[in-house]
Amino acid sequence: MTRWSRRTVLGGLAATALAHPALAQSAARGAWPNRPIRLIVPFAAGTTTDILGRILAEALAREAGQPVVVDNRAGAGGNVGSQAVAQAAPDGYTLLLATNGTHGINVSLFPDLGFDPVRDFTPIAPFVTTPTVLGVPPSLGVSSVAELLALGRSRPLTFASAGNGTTGHLSQALLNLRTGLKTDHVPYRNAGQGITDLLAGRVDAMFYHPLGLKPYLEAGTLKALAVTSARRVSSLPDTPTIQEAGIDDFVVEGLWNLFGPAGMPAEIVVRLNRATNALLANPASLANLRMQGVEPTGGTPENLADVTRAEIAKWRPIIAAAGIKPD
């Protein structure tokens, strides 16, 4: 976990505090928070983002001394909930658990997001990351990435995803770009529908987060061929990375990070950043998160600002080369 400094955070956000002196003075007097806080999760209940949002909300509530209520605002690949936060007052009562979809991928996918992922938000803290897992049903008859590629050269393969532009879809697109394989994309309204068809053998493969696939991997109803992280993950230690499986320059990870509206007072950001990093430093909490298939990141608001810009730059050429369009 990246170490962070209160002095660094305060210095980096001094201009923000000066731009909103009334809010900054209120925070300094300890007036924040005096009512419940909303954590907007821009995806439906029961999704990976929702589960992680509820874990984070508990930690933030302990720091704030007020309830942190998860508010699911799904739609348009996370854009609906993100826009709601971008338009909210920067008073520390509306927060966003963003992904690298909302704050990296979508800006190259949608012609008009309704917000700017850099300009319209205050970065608070990096949270967690996870790769996608390449899962197949046993009935497909393959046990490695090499065998899957060989099958794909003999007949078209179908890949399920939770929708256009998701990390699962981008993983498939990157597989095509890196190997020259031509696979068919089958987007679903949600991951659960895709997993159902994958289990039934109606589609051949799917890239999805470990949290969604692990119960089926443990039951033996799906096989994990590879993970798309740079290193193996603790929740699937025997599963190779896709780079270990022979495909170079292939890293796809889902990111979850905490943001607020642009212009939040520095003192509030410091407290929320401290609570997020404390959660990631707690051994019991860390074990729980790893059981969900995610790894901690943590760090400063400045780290998160850098990550956001890097994700935007990373995905722009891949989306253009693959010709990906929104649903």
Amino acid at 99: T
pLDDT tens per residue across span 113-128: 999 999 999 999 999 9
171 and 106 within one domain: no
Q: Is the pLDDT of residue 215 over 80?
A: yes
pLDDT tens per residue across span 125-169: 999 999 999 999 999 999 999 999 999 999 999 999 988 888 999
126 and 257 within one domain: yes
Name the residue among 278, 289, 285, 284 with its Cα closest to residue 234. Answer: 289
Chain-wide mean pLDDT for the chain?
90
Is residue 238 in a domain? no
Domain count, the chain: 2
pLDDT tens per residue across span 307-325: 999 999 999 999 999 888 8
Q: Mention every residue, 6+ apart, whose C-beta is less than 8 A from residue 263.
A: 16, 19, 20, 23, 90, 122
Pairing of strands 94-99, 253-261: antiparallel
Q: Which has the minimum average pLDDT: 9-23, 52-66, 208-222, 236-250?
A: 9-23
**The domain that contains 138 carries what CATH number?**
3.40.190.10
Is residue 167 in a domain? yes
312 and 276 within one domain: yes
* pTM for the predicted model, two decimal places: 0.82
205 and 152 within one domain: yes
Is residue 243 in a domain? no
* pLDDT score for 16: 40
* pLDDT score for 317: 92
Is residue 157 in a domain? yes
Rounded-to-integer distance, Cα 106 and Cα 312, Å: 9
Structural domain of 182? 133-227
* pLDDT score for 290: 87
116 and 142 within one domain: no
Is residue 233 in a domain? no
84 and 29 within one domain: yes
Rounded-to-integer distance, Cα 81 and Cα 74, Å: 6
87 and 25 within one domain: yes
Phi/psi at 204 (5° precision): -85, -35
